[in-house]
Structures are given as structure tokens and as C-alpha cells.
Amino acid sequence: MNQKMKLLIASALTSLAMLSPAVAENMLRVSYSEDPKTADGQMTTDSYTLPLNIFDRLVESETTAPGESALVPGLAEKWEVSEDGLTYTFHLRQGVKFHDGAVLTADDVVYTFDRMLNPATKALNTDILTFIAGAQDRLDGKADSVSGLKALDDQTVQITLAQPYAAFLALLAAPGASIYNRAFTEAAGDQFGLTPETTNGTGPFILRDYTLNDSQMLEANEDYWRGRAKVDRLLIRVVTDAETLRMLFESDEIDVFDLDYAPTQTPYFYGSDQWKDLIRSGPRVGIYYYNINQAKKPFDDPRVRKAFQMAIDRQTILDKNFYGKGALENGVMPRGLTCYAEAAPIEYNPAKAKELLAEAGYPDGVEIKLQQAANWSPRWSDMNQIIQAQIAEAGFKAQIVTTDEAAFMAARKVGETDNYTQVWSADFNDPDNFFYTFFSESGSKSRAYNNNDPEVFADIERARGMTDQAERCKLYQDLTTRIVDQDAAWVPLFSLDHSYVVQPRVKNFVVPWNGWSDMNYYNVEVE
């Protein structure tokens, strides 16, 4: 038998070994584009599949339908919020157990959040807890504990904020707010979350095997407080190459194919008679946008900004670069986000844009700069080139400037970059995630918008402390009109669809509401 034949047989045996347990043991097989490096949600900002399946949070953001979600009780079965919006009292579920058998107590919750804010931890997600009273002192090393965190008894946690923040519950549903067991986590030290032996949660799956740069195997938690998961095992394979991922999927070695990991495969699957009816799609809660820096001429004039909005053919960019799988966005909030409502459409009209430029004092057109960082993905330079050509019809003579990313970020931080295109995805389900990031007084400068509108600044701050959600949503919708229409402060481009292809045996798969590819697989079934 020659070497080539041996390799073919070995490959086939490997495939069968991966496939047979899936069928026999009711195993769901999914993929990840790189090794997650840790299961500790406090120590990652971009790999959330392990935290979402191994741990639970006080509050959960549950996908109710594609593009729709709701905050629901998690480890806290109920809570009260004081009238002034400062004090949150959480009542924990009785008898919830960690994977090692320890029972969840309020002390574990206090410990978890204190651990994140402890400067010795060097946690990466501390911003979700900075609203808690005393959090900043703890982060700065000025205190040994967090004054706003208290265990009133074994089942009751009281969290006091430094100031009212209406999005606080949404933050507590973020993966970084996963709850840990004090005794186990302290014993694991800086190895927590790195191996099955040093990982312990209350979630629907238990980490059983972790092979670096290859795979993670999770097993259903028999004692899960919500009831056992529908699958026995969850296999997460690390597959870095898009073509390899497709081959694995089509040879039935992967059950769920995330097209975000291989966007070039979109036309193939949507055009395939075998697979097109097995595509599950929903809005990816994020927004592509074009920044406008009002501190630099000619964009100090709202007529020029409005002309820039109208000169970009957004649908063509969506069709050409993203296979048309998405929807134009006309506001600040993308579809799928809490409080979302359709905004007034931005008209594509280069002739009218040209008239606005003339009205603003540029009858012969105007020179502008479009900026990008050297190590950004080619999609950004491609989009800039398309936009450069599109806006020329309206009279914008655009020069594309490429700079070192460190220089770009330094300039943006002080509000001095030229105009650029980027994307922002929701990591917690609240409009503050978008409005404060881009158009608050601090965000407007640090993102280089320089949209110095005192009324907008005041309303964004006011919205953060409002307790009437309907009134708050109405304010955000009014803010959208002022920011996008009146101030013409940016160009919202589009949001994308998030599409998955699933094997016929996969049932009850719902596209997650969020802006990531990470999801909880608790409700997914396989036949």
C-alpha cells in the first residue's frame, strides 16, 4: 500500500471518527475561526462561545426570533430597581449548582464582579461594571473592595450605581458578566478558564476537552437548573480556512456553517438547490457607516455633509461587496436593536448633492480626504474606492489617504482624523451602545465626528438615566432625526444579514440577535 493510499484511509477514518459519535451520542458540531484562548469572559473581548455555554449571568439576553430579543431572568429569578434608578436588588435562584457541585450564593456574584474590577486581574471587560459605585476606586487601586457591591444574604445581591444608568441590566447580560464560584476561581488563579480542570460554571455545558488550536468538547450538564440541554455534546472545531470549512460541512463533519466565517461562499449556498432551504438568516445587529469630521472643511457646513450623504449609492456597495444580503440603514440604531424604528430614508441623488455643494459655495466641486489604516482588511480600501468614484459625480474630489493604524488611532482619539468608513456591532442590547459611543460629548470627539450639538449631548445623557422605557425609546428616535437629518453628522450605510447553513438534522436553530458569531446552543436539537 503506497503512502498516498495510507493518507487517504487515515483521513477517511478520522472523518468517520468525528461523524459516528455525532450520530450515536447526539452531538452538535460547530466551528470557530480561531482558538478562543480562554473560557474566561473577563479575559476576552472577541471569543464568547465558551462563556455563553459554560456560564450563566444574572440576566440573559434571549433571542426570541431573528432580529428580536428580550432581557429575561437568569441566575437572578427576579429583581427590583429603586425609584431613583440607583439600587438594584437581585434575588438568586435557589439550589443552582456549579459544575463541581458547589451551590451558587450571593457571595459568588460579589466576588465575580470584584474580581473583574480588581486591577490585579487585568480584566478586559471592566467597562460593563464601571457604573457601580466604587468601581473606579477599585480599578485605580484606591480600594480593596467595591462599595456598591453587597451580599445581603446567601440569595440576595444588592448593586448600587454611582449614577442612574438605564442600560445596566443589558450590560449584566453580556458574556463578560458571567458568574464564577469564588473558591474554585481563587484556587485556579491565573489558570482559570484555560483548561477543563480549571473551568467551572453553572451553564448548560461542561468543558471536557480543550485541544489548543484544534477543538473544544463540551458535555451536557445533567444538573442544569433550566433542565438538560437537548444535545449530549457540543464539539467546537477550530477551522481557519474558509474552503476547508465548506469541505468539512459538505462532507457532514460540521453541522452549522456560519457564513460570517466564509462570506465568499454566500453565492454558492444561496444558489444551491441542496442547501438554499437550509439557510437560517437574521439581521446582524450592527451598522456600517461613514464618519464625517465636522472640524475639517468643507464638512463644517451641514449642506456639504448632507450632500455627502446623498452622493453615496449605498445599495450598490451592499450588492457588490456583500452580495446584497442586508438592508440599508438610515439612522443611528440598526434593525434588531432595542428601541429600533425605521428612520426617514436618505435619498441617493448626486444631482441634488451637487446643487447643495454649489449652495454651500463650491460650484466647481470640493476636495476632501477619505482615510484608512494600512493594516485594515481590503474591504475598507475597496469601499473607499467605490465611494471615491460615486461621489465624484456630485463634485467631491476625494483623495484616499492611507496611514499607519497607530497613527490613525492616535489622531482619532483627539478628533483629528479625516473621514473614514467602519462598522460597529452591538455587544449589549441597548441604544446607548450606539448613541453614547458616537454622539455623546466625549464620543463625538474621540471618534472624530466633532458634532458639537449641545442639545444632542444633553439628551444622550438624559436618556442614560431614564426609567420609562417607552419614553426613552421615543427620545432616541427623536435624536436619530436630529443627528442624521438635521446635523447630517454621519452616513449610515447598511446592516448585514447573518446567515448560517445547517445540516438537515439540526432543529430549533435560531440566529442570535447580537452582532457576533457567538451564541448559546442550549435550545438547539439534532435528530
Under the banding of pLDDT at 50, 70 and 90, the label for residue 64 is confident
Q: pLDDT tens for residues 301-343? A: 999 999 999 999 999 999 999 999 999 999 999 999 999 999 9
Give the pLDDT score at 443.
Answer: 96
Same domain, 324 and 461: yes
* Average pLDDT over every residue of 499-514: 95
Give the pLDDT score at 16.
Answer: 38
Give the pLDDT score at 117.
Answer: 98
The percent of residues in the chain predicted with pLDDT above 70, rounded, is 95
Give the pLDDT score at 514.
Answer: 85
Asked whether residue 292 is domain-assigned, the answer is: yes
Distances (CA, A) of 280 to 260, 360, 399, 510: 12, 47, 40, 7
Residue, of 459 and 1, whose pLDDT is higher: 459
Q: How remote is the C-alpha of 298 from its chain's centroid?
A: 34
Give the SS3 label for residue 352. helix
Q: pLDDT tens for residues 229-277? A: 999 999 999 999 999 999 999 999 999 999 999 999 999 999 999 999 9
Work out the mean pLDDT of the chain and round it to a whole number: 93
Same domain, 301 and 225: no
Asked whether residue 11 is domain-assigned, the answer is: no
Give the pLDDT score at 396.
Answer: 98
- Write the Ramachandran bin of 93: left for phi over 0, alpha for psi from -120 to 50, otherwise beta: beta
In the sheet where 149-153 sits, what is the strand order? 76-81, 87-92, 156-160, 149-153
Q: Rounded to whole angstroms, how far apart are CA atoms 442 and 456? A: 12
Give the pLDDT score at 12.
Answer: 36
Closest CA to 52 of 526, 527, 499, 516: 516
Give the SS3 label for residue 429. coil
Q: Which of 191, 209, 234 is the last residue of a domain?
A: 191
Q: Which of 164, 191, 218 is the last residue of a domain?
A: 191
Give the pLDDT score at 255.
Answer: 98
Asked whether residue 380 is domain-assigned, the answer is: yes
Same domain, 361 and 463: yes
Give the pLDDT score at 18.
Answer: 45
Amino acid present at 101: G
Query: Does residue 20 surpass a pLDDT of 50?
Result: no
Give the pLDDT score at 376.
Answer: 94
Same domain, 423 and 292: yes
**DSSP letters of 371-421?**
EEETTS-HHHHHHHHHHHHHHHTTTEEEEEEEE-HHHHHHHHHTT---B-E
Q: Rounded to whole angstroms, how far apart are CA atoms 255 and 439? A: 41
Query: Does residue 13 surpass a pLDDT of 60?
Result: no
Same domain, 226 and 304: no
Same domain, 99 and 170: yes
Give the pLDDT score at 221.
Answer: 98
Cβ-Cβ contacts under 8 Å for 2 (sequence gap 6 or more): none
CATH code: domain of residue 127: 3.90.76.10
Give the SS3 label for residue 490. strand
- Write the Ramachandran bin of 134: left for phi over 0, alpha for psi from -120 to 50, otherwise beta: left
Give the pLDDT score at 437.
Answer: 96
Q: pLDDT tens for residues 336-392? A: 999 999 999 999 999 999 999 999 999 999 999 999 999 999 999 999 999 999 999
Q: How remote is the C-alpha of 124 from its chain's centroid?
A: 15
Q: Rounded to whole angstroms, how far apart are CA atoms 161 and 148? A: 6
Asked whether residue 362 is domain-assigned, the answer is: yes
The pairing of beta strand 87-92 with beta strand 76-81 = antiparallel
Give the pLDDT score at 27.
Answer: 98
Q: Rounded to whole angstroms, how far apart are CA atoms 483 and 501? A: 38
Same domain, 167 and 291: no
Q: pLDDT tens for residues 424-435? A: 998 889 999 999
**DSSP letters of 16-56?**
HHHHHHHHHTTEEEEEESS----S-GGG-SS--HHHHHH--
Give the pLDDT score at 365.
Answer: 97
Residue-range definition of the domain harbouring residue 480? 286-497
Closest CA to 259 of 242, 276, 271, 244: 242
Give the pLDDT score at 65.
Answer: 79
Q: Which of 173, 191, 209 is the last residue of a domain?
A: 191
Query: Does residue 5 surpass a pLDDT of 50?
Result: no
Query: Does residue 188 surpass a pLDDT of 50?
Result: yes
CATH code: domain of residue 325: 3.10.105.10
Give the pLDDT score at 489.
Answer: 98
Q: How remote is the C-alpha of 33 from its chain's centroid?
A: 16
CATH code: domain of residue 215: 3.40.190.10
Same domain, 307 and 456: yes
Same domain, 274 and 358: no
Same domain, 73 and 172: yes
Asked whether residue 131 is domain-assigned, the answer is: yes
Asked whether residue 7 is domain-assigned, the answer is: no
Under the banding of pLDDT at 50, 70 and 90, the label for residue 113 is very high
Q: Rounded to whole angstroms, how far apart are CA atoms 54 and 98? A: 10
- Write the Ramachandran bin of 323: left for phi over 0, alpha for psi from -120 to 50, otherwise beta: left
Cell digits of residue 391: 461621489
* Average pLDDT over every residue of 226-230: 97
Under the banding of pLDDT at 50, 70 and 90, the label for residue 23 is very low
Asked whether residue 245 is domain-assigned, the answer is: yes
Amino acid present at 179: I
The structural domain count of the chain equals 3
Cell digits of residue 51: 462563556
Under the banding of pLDDT at 50, 70 and 90, the label for residue 8 is very low
Same domain, 207 and 181: no
**DSSP letters of 80-92?**
EE-TTS-EEEEEE
Asked whether residue 199 is domain-assigned, the answer is: yes
Same domain, 293 and 204: no
Under the banding of pLDDT at 50, 70 and 90, the label for residue 66 is confident
Q: pLDDT tens for residues 134-184? A: 999 999 999 999 999 999 999 999 999 999 999 999 999 999 999 999 999
